[in-house]
Chain A
Amino acid sequence: MVVKVYGPIKAACPQRVLACLLEKEVEFQIVDVDLEAGDHKKPDFLLRQPFGQVPAIEDGDFKLFGKVLGMCSLTLGVIYLFIFIFKCVNILLLAESRAIIRYYAAKYEKQGTNLLGNSLEERAMVDQWLEVEAHNFNDLVYTLVFQLLILPRMGKQGDTALVLSCQQKLEKVLDIYEQRLSTTAYLAGDSFTLADLSHLPALRYLVDDVGMWHMVSQRKHVNAWWETISNRAAWKKLMKLANY
């Protein structure tokens, strides 16, 4: 049964889901959602995703929703990103992509990469770092992308003070990651898990798109970790699919 993933491949949340499906060797089909045409607000799409966002997953009779953080890149066109962000910037940053990846990591436990750790305690660490990513890391990167990439392309001025403040906060967060990764090879322990995977989309934006690669490269262990996880076959496959 082929899983249908609704959402633009260049956006962060669909990427999170796609990376997981690739690691788990699960077949999928990307159904592009034209945010500009307002596809995501049409009644039948809303049936799939009550918050009217992307991605949504359709797997047989089972439907799960998720949300795009709107981090589309240069070539995708800023207009539909703008419409999307305009609608959601004052609302909420749902991250149900993390619910989707939890589901697939468990459903296909026996195939592909083990993304859940090797014990209950490791799984708790995976959960914990998924929360850290969602609550402490993701929003900061999202704000930087919005202020430094999106707004200028719309001919608007980014908020420099906000950028500086985010940068400072992000430096502190990455110091914690540096500390953690000096004791373990990966966030939850000795193997690659959902916790690491979940960071990939935003890390890529940080390093490639907003010119802040130094934040990663200046930290020995964070750098080594980024090099390792971004060189995984599944992630490289996704990058190719997304035309990076």
Chain B
Amino acid sequence: MATPVKVHGPPLSTAVSRVLACLIEKDVQFQLIPVNMSKGEHKSPDFLKIQSRAICRYVCEKYAEKGNKGLYGSNPLAKASIDQWLEAEGQSFNPPSSVLVFQLAFAPRMKIKQDQSLINQNHDKLAKVLEVYEKRLGESRFLAGDEFSLADLSHLPNTHYLVNATDRGELFTSKKNVGRWWAEISSRDSWKKVVDMQKHSS
């Protein structure tokens, strides 16, 4: 019997929720180990926190035969397309959306002053990226092709916050294809479970 995978960190963290969604898709048992953010446990001296995308890739390779088998592509070409959109997520989508999530959803709660010009700048950046996504999602059902993949999954954490905890959800919902895609990926069982875990952890 395999020992469950241990996941360290709060489900509210976008990186952690990305990994959780992946594990649930792959039907891999895990154990969530809480990290006390207020005690600063999460700031390990080693800045090399293993990146959540690397972890997801590893989980998909290691448990290739479990759960959603196509999550990271069932052949090299499919995988390359997924990698491509994972890079787009990491490099283009993540930076502006993370800033917006922090500024609009977390800063107020943490009583940190919001930076309006930063918000505006990143809103515009994200809007431009989503224009490319709108076109892409008019050509295929999901980002990398016709099946839900790690590339779509990787977008779940930040988009969830933007749509549900800020007033910028219309960046997504006002676009026909992006809106359709968001509705579909956010209603997956795996993501619903993660959202549930987030609700019960705070």
Interface of A with B (CB < 8 Å)?
A: 50-51, 62, 64-65, 90-96, 98-100, 102-103, 106-107, 120-121, 123-124, 127-128, 130-132, 134-135, 176, 180
Asked whether B54 is an interface residue with its Cβ less than 8 Å from the other chain, the reply is yes
B87 and A107: CB pair below 8 A? no
Asked whether B125 is an interface residue with its Cβ less than 8 Å from the other chain, the reply is yes
Chain A residues whose C-beta falls within 8 Å of the C-beta of B136 in the assembled complex: 50
B53 and A91: CB pair below 8 A? no
Determine which residue in A62, A96, A176 has the highest number of CB atoms from chain B within 10 A of its CB, and name it.
Answer: A96
B88 and A96: CB pair below 8 A? yes
A92→B125 CA distance, assembly (Å) = 8
Chain A residues whose C-beta falls within 8 Å of the C-beta of B125 in the assembled complex: 90-92
Closest B-chain residue to A61, C-beta based?
B77
A120 and B58: CB pair below 8 A? yes
Determine which residue in B55, B77, B124, B135 has the highest number of CB atoms from chain A within 10 A of its CB, and name it.
Answer: B77
A128 and B48: CB pair below 8 A? yes
Asked whether B41 is an interface residue with its Cβ less than 8 Å from the other chain, the reply is no
Chain B residues whose C-beta falls within 8 Å of the C-beta of A128 in the assembled complex: 48, 50-51, 54
Closest B-chain residue to A97, C-beta based?
B87
Asked whether B165 is an interface residue with its Cβ less than 8 Å from the other chain, the reply is no
Chain A residues whose C-beta falls within 8 Å of the C-beta of B61 in the assembled complex: 120, 123
A94 and B57: CB pair below 8 A? no
**Which secondary structure dominates chain B's binding surface?**
helix
With contacts A95-B91, A107-B76, A131-B90 known, is A102 near B58, CB below 8 A? no
Asked whether B21 is an interface residue with its Cβ less than 8 Å from the other chain, the reply is no
B91 and A91: CB pair below 8 A? no
Chain A residues whose C-beta falls within 8 Å of the C-beta of B79 in the assembled complex: 102-103, 106
A131→B86 CA distance, assembly (Å) = 11
A95→B92 CA distance, assembly (Å) = 9
A90 to chain B minimum Cβ distance, whole angstroms, is 7
Interface string of B1-42 (1 = CB under 8 A from A): 000000000000000000000000000000000000000000
Chain A residues whose C-beta falls within 8 Å of the C-beta of B47 in the assembled complex: 176
Asked whether B118 is an interface residue with its Cβ less than 8 Å from the other chain, the reply is no
A104 to chain B minimum Cβ distance, whole angstroms, is 9
B84 and A96: CB pair below 8 A? yes
